[in-house]
């Protein structure tokens, strides 16, 4: 059976599962849905109009279809175990919601299992696929390269503290959530070659640090700086500086531009029907998984990034 006719297994029928389902339906891509609880399955059916299997994933995979490909949209703490169960049951290509696992140890375990079963695991950072990002990159040319970039990954710490996320996920919040904006900054400017970082302070739910600053240079010779203060109000943002423009993503879904000899910041209009009809970035991310995977992150790359970037930002050269 041709690949596009083979059903994909979508694991997870919560909010993100529903977002993936809307995209797969629009693409006329055959897919089956699995979730753990009957309650979630019923809610999903009401919302999307498609039945979801529920119960024990291992059992359902034994009893029902064999799948070549799967999309996993479960909570962070269950990503690793679901991906491993899928690989053990013959799934060869998996798109995992970011960040792929709770920490680098789990990612290393994932990679080891993928090698045993000859499977490919990709991690989806949907902000790479925003129309705002695509438009920003269209301004970057050989004659107008990126010279420097600044990004802010300040989090809504009071909301996170009250959220139902597990303590383990909260403790690893920089990887679990802030990595969205950090990944995007280095996707735009190139991977960091040199990085100097400082981190200090702490929160009850994040004892490691609460304030982060740093700078460095990417392999594309782009100077970068970053700042985040989880104790203070703020929001994610990226500023990209070329010889001709300052290009601003804040919020990340929208693009603003500043030109020379003016302090005026104007919004750039986007042709982004996929980002308004569906959760931003998800349509093109699924498209990439089904066709051209170059902008998806492989597990081996994620392990390197955790060790060389996220952990360096997190632990820094601590100030007492």
Residue 60 has a pLDDT of 85
Percent of the chain with pLDDT over 70: 97
Task: Check: CB of residue 28 under 8 Å from CB of residue 294.
Answer: no
The position carrying tokens 């919020």 is 251
Q: Does the structure show a pLDDT above 50 at 150?
A: yes
Q: What is the mean pLDDT of residues 192-214?
A: 96
pLDDT at 2 over 90: no
Order of strands, sheet of 223-229, starting from the edge strand that comes earlier in the sequence: 192-200, 211-218, 223-229, 146-152, 237-242, 245-249, 256-259, 265-267
Rg of the chain (C-alpha set): 20
| Structure-token pair, residue 54 | 């529920």
Estimate to the nearest angstrom the gap between the alpha carbon of 49 and the chain centroid: 27
How many whole angstroms separate alpha carbon 218 and alpha carbon 53? 46
Q: How far is CA 94 from CA 29, 87, 138, 174, in A?
A: 16, 8, 30, 23
Largest CA distance in the chain: 67
d(CA 82, CA 199): 33
d(CA 188, CA 138): 11
C-alpha 26/C-alpha 152 separation (Å) is: 34
pLDDT at 317: 61
What dihedral do alpha carbons 127, 131, 135, 138 form, nearest 10°? 80
pLDDT on residue 113: 98
d(CA 184, CA 125): 8
Residue 3 banded pLDDT, cuts 50, 70, 90:
low
Q: Is 169 exposed, middle or buried (0-12, 13-18, 19+ CB in 10 A)?
A: buried
Nearest to 255 by CA among 180, 245, 263: 245
pLDDT (tens digit, 9 = 90+) per residue, 247-273? 999 999 999 999 999 999 999 999 878
Question: Interior CA angle at 155 toward 151 and 156, to 5°?
Answer: 145
- The answer to whether residues 252 and 272 touch, using CB atoms and an 8 Å cutoff, is no
Query: Model-level pTM?
Result: 0.95
Q: Is the pLDDT of residue 218 over 70?
A: yes
Q: What is the mean pLDDT of residues 150-160?
A: 97
pLDDT in tens, 40-82: 999 999 999 999 999 999 888 887 778 999 999 999 999 999 9
């Amino acid at each position: 059976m041709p690949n596009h006719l083979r059903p994909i297994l979508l694991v997870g029928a919560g909010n993100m599962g529903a977002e993936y389902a809307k995209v797969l339906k629009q693409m006329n891509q055959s897919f089956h849905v699995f979730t753990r609880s009957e309650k979630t399955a019923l809610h999903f059916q009401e919302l999307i109009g498609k039945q979801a299997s529920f119960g024990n994933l291992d059992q359902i995979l034994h009893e029902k279809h064999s799948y070549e490909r799967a999309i996993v949209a479960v909570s962070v703490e269950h990503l690793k175990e679901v991906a491993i169960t899928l690989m053990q049951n013959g799934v060869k290509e998996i798109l995992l919601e970011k960040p792929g696992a709770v920490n680098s140890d789990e990612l290393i375990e994932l990679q080891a299992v993928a090698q045993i079963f000859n499977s490919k695991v990709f991690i989806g950072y949907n902000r790479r696929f925003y129309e705002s990002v695509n438009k920003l990159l269209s301004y970057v040319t050989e004659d107008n390269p990126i010279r420097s970039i600044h990004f802010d990954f300040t989090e809504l710490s009071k909301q996170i503290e009250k959220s139902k996320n597990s303590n383990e996920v909260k403790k690893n919040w920089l990887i679990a959530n802030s990595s969205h904006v950090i990944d995007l900054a280095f996707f735009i400017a190139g991977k960091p070659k040199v990085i100097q970082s400082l981190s200090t302070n702490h929160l009850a739910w994040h004892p490691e640090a609460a304030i982060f600053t740093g700078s460095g240079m990417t392999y594309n010779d782009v100077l970068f700086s970053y700042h985040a203060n989880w104790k203070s109000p703020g929001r994610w943002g990226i500023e990209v500086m070329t010889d001709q423009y300052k290009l601003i993503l804040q919020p990340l879904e929208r693009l603003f531009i500043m030109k020379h000899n003016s302090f005026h910041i104007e919004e750039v209009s986007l042709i982004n029907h996929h980002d308004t009809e569906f959760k931003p970035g998800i349509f093109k991310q699924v498209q990439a998984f089904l066709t051209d995977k170059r902008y998806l992150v492989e597990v081996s790359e994620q392990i390197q990034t955790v060790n060389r970037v996220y952990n360096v930002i997190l632990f820094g050269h601590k100030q007492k």
